[in-house]
C-alpha cells in the first residue's frame, strides 16, 4: 500500500477496476435487479459504518495538493445508508472521512469523500429512476476499465491501491438516470449536468467541480444473444467530448473459467498531446480470464492496452523532458489512465488460507513498455465485526519508470477496521 507524494500517480497507472459486477446473463441480471428493487421498498432502514486505523512506514505522505509530512498513523470513518423511505422510494447515502495527513504548516488534514447521495423511484416493476450523486462503475476487467467513463478526477484520498478500494472510495457524479428492464436485457440512459467550473482542494468540500465540470451523457443497453452471453453496449459523450463507444462482455469457458473483454474507442487527445494537437481515434481495452481452483483460490490474468497513454517512443521522450514528464504524470493521475500503453495485470485471492477467516490477496502489474513493475500482498483476518490486515507493497524500476518513480519503494502497513 502506498501513501506517498507519488501515490496518486502510481494508482492511476495500475488500477481502475474491480472484478465484473454483472453476471453476464442479461435475463438473470434484469430480473434480479427488479426483484431487489421491489424487496428494498419493504426492507427496514439499513445503516452501516466502519472505523479504520492504520500504521505504516509512510514517507512524504500526501493525499491532496499542499499536504506533506511523514505521518505513520492515519484514521478513517465511513457511514452509509441504503433503504426504503416511502412506498416505491429508496435513499442511498455513503460518505467517508480520512484524517492523519499533515499540511506543510503541521496542521492535521481531514479529507471528506461524498461517494453517493441519491434517491431512487420505482414507478413500475420494470422501471427505475435515480437522481443525485451516484458512483457509477462500468467495466468487467479487474485491473483497468476502459468503459469506466466517470472515473476521472473522482479520487480525493487514496488509502489502498486495491482496485476494489479505488472504485469504492471515490466521488460519485451528480446525474439523472433512468433504466427499463425486460426478460432479455435492459436499457439505461443518464445525463450529468455541469455544476462548477473547477475542482477544489478544500478538504470537506463535496467537490462538484471534480465530477460535474461539464455536461455528459451515457446510454447503455444489454441483450441476451444466447445462454450465458449478454454483452453490454455503451455510448458516452458530452460538452467538448466526442462520442465514445464501449462494450463489456463475459463468457464461461467451463465451470471454473470466465473470460472477459472490455473495449472503448473514440476521437480525443492523447494524454501527452499538447493543447494545439488535433483529435484522433484512440482505442482502450482489457482482456483476460479468471480461473477458480479448489480450496477457494481464484486467479485473474489480464492484458491491458490504453491508446490514450504513452507508447515507447513518447515515453522515452517524456522522461528526457522534466516539465512534460511532470505534466503527463499529473494527467495520468487525474484521469486514472495507464501510465504507459501496454501492461500485464495479475490478481489472486485465497479465502480461508491455511486457517478459517484468513484471506490473502496477491496483486501485481508488469509494464511492457519500460519493464517496471509493482507487487502488492495482503493478509486479512476476519472476525464478525472486526478485520485485521497487513499489507506490503514493493515497486521495481528506474527513477523515472512507471512504477519506480515513487518516493518509497517498499511500504508495510497494518490496519484494524471496526464495523457497526
Tell me: the pLDDT tens digits for 63-87? 444 444 455 788 999 999 999 999 9
285: its cell numbers: 481495452
C-alpha span between 121 and 116 (Å, rounded):
16
Supply the pLDDT for residue 114: 97
C-alpha span between 389 and 382 (Å, rounded):
9
- Please give the DSSP secondary-structure letter assigned to residue 329: H
The tally of CA atoms less than 13 A away on the side-chain side of residue 64 is 24
Task: Determine the 3-state secondary structure of 388 from DSSP.
Answer: strand
CB 334 within 8 A of CB 297: no
Supply the pLDDT for residue 103: 57
CB 325 within 8 A of CB 319: yes
114: its cell numbers: 461524498
Supply the pLDDT for residue 286: 98
Task: Determine the 3-state secondary structure of 59 from DSSP.
Answer: coil
Supply the pLDDT for residue 21: 39
C-alpha span between 400 and 336 (Å, rounded):
18
Supply the pLDDT for residue 12: 38
Supply the pLDDT for residue 6: 36
5: its cell numbers: 507524494
Which residues in the chain land under pLDDT 50?
1-43, 60-69
211: its cell numbers: 465530477
Q: Does the CA dihedral 200-205-211-215 come out positive or negative?
A: negative
Angle between helices 322-335 and 312-319 (to 10 degrees): 120
Supply the pLDDT for residue 339: 95
Supply the pLDDT for residue 310: 96
Give backbone dihedrals phi and psi of 327, rounded to 5 degrees, phi first.
-65, -40
- Please give the DSSP secondary-structure letter assigned to residue 279: P
- Please give the DSSP secondary-structure letter assigned to residue 44: P
Count of helices and strands (H, E) across the chain: 6, 18
Residue linked to cell 450529468: 192
User: Tell me: the pLDDT tens digits for 270-321?
Assistant: 999 977 788 999 999 999 999 999 999 999 999 999 999 999 999 999 999 9
Domains by residue range for the chain, with CATH: 7-419 (2.40.160.10)
Total length of the chain: 420
The pTM (predicted TM-score) of the whole model is 0.85
Supply the pLDDT for residue 227: 85
Amino acid at each position: 500500500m502506498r501513501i506517498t507524494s507519488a501515490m496518486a500517480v502510481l494508482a492511476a497507472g495500475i488500477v481502475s477496476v474491480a472484478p465484473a459486477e454483472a453476471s453476464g446473463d442479461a435475463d438473470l441480471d434484469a430480473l434480479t435487479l427488479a426483484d431487489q428493487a421491489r424487496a428494498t421498498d419493504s426492507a427496514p432502514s439499513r445503516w452501516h459504518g466502519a472505523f479504520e486505523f492504520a500504521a505504516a512506514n509512510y514517507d512524504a505522505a500526501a493525499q491532496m495538493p499542499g499536504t506533506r509530512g511523514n505521518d505513520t498513523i492515519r484514521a478513517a470513518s465511513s457511514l452509509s445508508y441504503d433503504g426504503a423511505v416511502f412506498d416505491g422510494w429508496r435513499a442511498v447515502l455513503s460518505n467517508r472521512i480520512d484524517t492523519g495527513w499533515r499540511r506543510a504548516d503541521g496542521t492535521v488534514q481531514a479529507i471528506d469523500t461524498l461517494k453517493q447521495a441519491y434517491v431512487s423511484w420505482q414507478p413500475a416493476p420494470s422501471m427505475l429512476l435515480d437522481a443525485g450523486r451516484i458512483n457509477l462503475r462500468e467495466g468487467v476487467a479487474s485491473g483497468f476499465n476502459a468503459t469506466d467513463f466517470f472515473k476521472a478526477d473522482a479520487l480525493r484520498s487514496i488509502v489502498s491501491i486495491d482496485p476494489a478500494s479505488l472504485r469504492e472510495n471515490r466521488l460519485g457524479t451528480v446525474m439523472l438516470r433512468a433504466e427499463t428492464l425486460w426478460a432479455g436485457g435492459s436499457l439505461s440512459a443518464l445525463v450529468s449536468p455541469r455544476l462548477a467550473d473547477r475542482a477544489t482542494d478544500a478538504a470537506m468540500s463535496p467537490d462538484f467541480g471534480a465530477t460535474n465540470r461539464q455536461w455528459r451523457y451515457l446510454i447503455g443497453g444489454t441483450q441476451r444473444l444466447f445462454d450465458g452471453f449478454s454483452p453490454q453496449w455503451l455510448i458516452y459523450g458530452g460538452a467538448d467530448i466526442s462520442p465514445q463507444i464501449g462494450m463489456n462482455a463475459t463468457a464461461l469457458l467451463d465451470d471454473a473459467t470466465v473470460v472477459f473483454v472490455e473495449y472503448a474507442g473514440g476521437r480525443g487527445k492523447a494524454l501527452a498531446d499538447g493543447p494545439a494537437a488535433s483529435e484522433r481515434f484512440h482505442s482502450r481495452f482489457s482482456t483476460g480470464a479468471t480461473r477458480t481452483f479448489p480450496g477457494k483460490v481464484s486467479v485473474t490474468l489480464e492484458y491491458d492496452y490504453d491508446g490514450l497513454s504513452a507508447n515507447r517512443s513518447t515515453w522515452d521522450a517524456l522522461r528526457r523532458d522534466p516539465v512534460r514528464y511532470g505534466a503527463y504524470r499529473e494527467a495520468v493521475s487525474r484521469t486514472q489512465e495507464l501510465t504507459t500503453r501496454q501492461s500485464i495485470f495479475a490478481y489472486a485471492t485465497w479465502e480461508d488460507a491455511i486457517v478459517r477467516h484468513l484471506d490473502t490477496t496477491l496483486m501485481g502489474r508488469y509494464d511492457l513498455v519500460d519493464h517496471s513493475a509493482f507487487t502488492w500482498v495482503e493478509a486479512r483476518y476476519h472476525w464478525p465485526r472486526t478485520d485485521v490486515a497487513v499489507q506490503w507493497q514493493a515497486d521495481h524500476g528506474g527513477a523515472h519508470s512507471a512504477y519506480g518513480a515513487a518516493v518509497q519503494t517498499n511500504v508495510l502497513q497494518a490496519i484494524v477496521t471496526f464495523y457497526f
